[in-house]
Amino acid sequence: MKKAGKMRKNAKSPKTLIRNIVILVLSVVMLITGMGCVYADQMLSRINFVPMEENSQVNTGELFQAGASSTSAKAGILGGLYHDDAITNILVMGVDDYQPNDPGRSDSMMLVSVDTRHKKLKLNSFMRDMYVAIPGHGSQRLNVAYTLGGPQLSVATIEANFGTDIDRFVLIDYASFSKIIDRLGGVTMTITKGEAQLINQNSGDSRRNLTAGTFVLSGKQALYYSRIRAIGDDFERTQRQRKVFSSLVEKFKTADIGTINQALYDVLPLITTNMTKNEVLNMAANSLTYLNYPISQNRTPGNNEYTSERVSFNGTPADVLVPDLDKCSKSLAEFIYESNLPSKTYDGD
């Protein structure tokens, strides 16, 4: 069990606190916000909060322990999973736009680690076509876990296969990406000639004059760019998603309060999370610190950590990535925990 870390009281001005809160939202992909007592409740009420599962095997307690260090935060094995009190792991999922009453699939899955031990913000993409064991459902593509059991089963599947504790999840409707990017005035991206041609043809944006180079992309353009399938493979696709995330972080840092506020007001109803309101507000107190952490990137599986195979789903053959679970688990743990890789001596008491 994580020890409840005591947040240091901030004596910052109301204006600074407001900026901290709204900027932090982006550092975990537009998670959440609060602005003063009454306004905080108004803004937070726009988010779709879902409770933690009562039968969850791992109750991680309070998150975002500001100032946690090797002497004040424990690390080890919690519920059979690698865990560090000083590192908060949040699974951010973007869901395909499907028809009503169709749950869809998690088109993108990115683990955002707020690492106060090493003072880094870490992004790890999980390839959606990995062929893994989904608890209670046999082996399938990783993105099917969301269809079968929502974000909770996606979290359970990743934990069961890759051995790292996931503290919370955030589910984002793809419409939110376009809205927040447009509210912030677009994001700056460097694109290739092939990417530019595809964006011009398929993004749905009326501006169709992109070429190879660096441009400010609109919401529609950035969303299509992050989901391009016609160029390269899914590894490149997840890299584009991380590039958009990083660019969006930089954009949030320089946006004015009014712009950020309106963007969040529009997109918060499109966000679902099992974080609590208190966790959101506690995280916000140190938002500028987290945003100024350097960003590290990784993906699962990495090179030489999988084989490409063809399997049959209900008689239909499909190409999948079969991960080497031992290699993937080890490299993921090393990416998140670095030289402080937890030993098997801590069991959460």
Domains defined for the chain, CATH in brackets: 14-184+255-337 (3.40.630.190), 185-254 (3.40.630.190)
CA distance 32 to 274: 11
CA distance 295 to 63: 20
- DSSP for 227-287 reads T--SSS-HHHHHHHHHHHHHHHHHHHHHS-HHHHHHHHHHHGGGEEES--HHHHHHHHTTH
Encoding tokens for residue 200? 């011009």
pLDDT at 11: 44
pLDDT at 8: 41
What one-letter code names the amino acid at 2? K
Question: Does residue 59 sit in helix, strand or coil?
Answer: coil
Question: Does residue 141 sit in helix, strand or coil?
Answer: strand
* φ, ψ for residue 320, nearest 5 deg: -135, 165
Query: What is the dihedral sign for C-alpha 109, 110, 113, 114?
Result: negative
pLDDT at 70: 47
Q: Please answer whether residues 228 and 237 qualify as being in contact, where contact means their C-beta atoms are separated by less than 8 angstroms.
A: yes
pLDDT digits (tens, 9 = 90+) for 192-248: 999 999 999 999 998 888 999 999 999 899 988 988 877 877 778 778 888 887 787
pLDDT at 344: 64
Q: Give, for all 349 residues of the chain, the pLDDT tens digit.
A: 444 443 444 444 555 554 554 444 444 333 333 334 445 677 788 888 888 775 554 444 557 655 544 456 788 888 889 999 899 999 999 876 555 566 666 778 989 999 999 999 999 999 989 999 999 999 999 999 999 999 999 999 999 999 999 999 998 877 677 877 888 788 899 999 999 999 999 999 988 889 999 999 998 999 889 888 778 777 787 788 888 877 877 777 777 777 777 777 777 787 889 988 888 777 766 777 787 888 898 999 999 999 999 998 888 888 999 999 999 999 999 999 998 787 766 666 5
Burial 196-231 (b: 16+ CB within 10 A, else e): bbbbbeebebeeeebeeeebebbbbbbbbbbbbeee
Nearest to 274 by CA among 37, 89, 65: 89
Strand pairing report for 295-300 and 75-78: unpaired
CA distance 10 to 65: 14
pLDDT at 40: 65
pLDDT at 87: 93
The answer to whether the peptide bond before residue 301 is cis (omega within 30 degrees of 0) is yes
CA distance 35 to 72: 30
pLDDT at 62: 58
